[in-house]
């Protein structure tokens, strides 16, 4: 249960830091606007004087644990060894997510041979780009799934005589069962693709590049 | 040290803190305001300050930081070591001049 608590605490800190920075910028913008600076310029000035928002947020969060949020020994509670193993896994997971993001960005760029990666990486804000990354990764994993089906279906049909002897009440080549199996597999593949993709998309490219 | 010192005059939110430091140093210290936040998080972790949500003068939801007794102790320690360092530098400079 420790990792759930850690994850929740991490979310809370991330949210608090983000809201804190947001409030800071808004206050500053309001101050500048009041002193007669045009709105757009006020926004730019506030951002410039603040520094790199993403970097600040990431460093603030890292204070509470490494990039993978290892948690302090105090919060590890009664099972420090297990908690640390979990922390290591999460570090790996994040590193993988970063590597994956970087790779997909690069592949995406190579495929188009245009300044796409630049646009992707330096687009501000990063939010609108996230679905692109998620879709890219999802497409990849579903392609693999489809390939598996192309191979799998004829194989299933061929072997159905054999499986019929194992299963009770299932006709060989029952279309309903077959369809259900295919659907389940697709759902699992989609989920298996979507979750890491979402994780990868959550990592900001600027931060991902900083870790390279 | 400057953050703790500023907070000793009363609880403040991040932006007010940055403004106060800038004002009292008469713009001599050009620090990126953002660097305040990792520092504040470190202080939160060390329990030198605590934070709670409040509202700013503009009625915006902000996080208000307050110095804790542990923070006051830390501030005293830091100020005394800083003063020792300053005295050391001053002595070296005087010796070098003469």
Residue pLDDT tens, chain A, 212 long: 777 888 888 888 888 888 888 888 888 888 888 888 888 888 888 888 887 777 788 888 887 775 444 433 333 334 444 444 545 555 555 555 666 655 665 555 444 333 334 444 444 455 566 677 777 777 877 887 788 888 877 787 777 777 666 666 666 667 787 788 888 888 887 887 787 777 777 766 666 666 55
Phi/psi for B64 (5° steps) reads -100, 125
Of B34, B41, B58, Cβ closest to residue A27:
B58
Query: Can you say whether residue B42 is alpha, beta or left, with left for phi > 0 and alpha for psi between -120 and 50 degrees?
Result: alpha
Which of helix, strand or coil describes residue B56? coil
Measured in degrees and rounded to the nearest 5, phi and psi for residue A192 equal: -65, -30
**Chain A residues with CB inside 8 Å of B47's CB?**
none
CA distance A51 to chain B (A): 6
CA distance A13 to chain B (A): 9
Q: How many CB atoms lie within 10 A of CB B37?
A: 25
Three-state DSSP at B51 gives strand
| Partner-chain contact B42 A49, CB within 8 Å | no
pLDDT surpasses 80 at B93? yes
Number of cross-chain residue pairs from A and B with Cβ atoms under 8 Å apart: 72
CB-CB neighbours of A207 under 10 Å? 16
Contacts of A64 in chain B (CB under 8 A): 41, 45
3-state SS, residue B24: helix
What is the model's pLDDT at position B84? 92
Burial class (CB in 10 A: 0-12, 13-18, 19+), A154: exposed
Greater confidence, B91 or A161? B91
Residue A35, C-beta contacts closer than 8 angstroms, at least 6 positions apart: none
Q: Does A29 touch chain B (CB under 8 A)?
A: no
- Best mutation target, B37, B57, B62, to test chain A (most A CBs within 10 A): B37
**Which has the closest alpha carbon to A57: A210, A212, A200?**
A210
Question: ipTM beyond 0.90?
Answer: no
């Amino acid at each position: 249960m420790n990792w759930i608590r850690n994850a929740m605490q991490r979310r809370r800190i991330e949210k608090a830091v983000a809201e804190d920075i947001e409030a800071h910028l808004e206050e500053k913008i309001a101050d500048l606007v009041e002193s007669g600076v045009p709105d757009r310029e006020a926004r730019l000035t506030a951002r410039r004087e603040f520094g790199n928002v993403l970097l600040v947020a990431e460093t603030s969060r890292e204070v509470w644990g490494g990039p993978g949020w290892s948690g302090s020994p105090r919060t590890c509670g009664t099972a420090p060894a297990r908690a640390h193993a979990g922390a290591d896994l999460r570090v790996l997971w994040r590193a993988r997510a970063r590597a994956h993001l970087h790779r997909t960005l690069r592949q995406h760029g190579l495929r188009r041979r245009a300044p796409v990666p630049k646009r992707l990486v330096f687009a501000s804000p990063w939010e609108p780009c996230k679905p692109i990354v998620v879709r890219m990764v999802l497409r990849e994993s579903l392609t693999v799934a489809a390939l598996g089906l192309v191979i799998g279906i004829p194989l299933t049909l061929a072997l159905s005589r054999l499986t019929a002897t194992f299963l009770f009440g299932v006709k060989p080549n029952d279309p309903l069962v077959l369809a259900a199996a295919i659907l389940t597999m697709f759902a699992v593949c989609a989920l298996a693709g979507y979750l890491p993709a979402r994780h990868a998309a959550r990592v900001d490219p600027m931060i991902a590049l900083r870790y390279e | 040290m400057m953050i703790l010192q500023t907070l000793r005059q009363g609880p403040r939110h991040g932006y007010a803190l940055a403004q106060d430091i800038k004002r009292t140093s008469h713009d001599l210290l050009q620090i990126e305001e953002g660097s305040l936040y990792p520092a504040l998080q470190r202080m939160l972790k060390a329990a030198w300050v605590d934070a709670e949500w409040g509202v700013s003068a503009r009625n915006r939801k902000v996080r208000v930081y307050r110095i804790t007794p542990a923070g006051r102790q830390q501030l005293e320690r830091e100020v005394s070591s800083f003063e020792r360092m300053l005295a050391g530098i001053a002595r070296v400079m005087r010796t070098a001049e003469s």
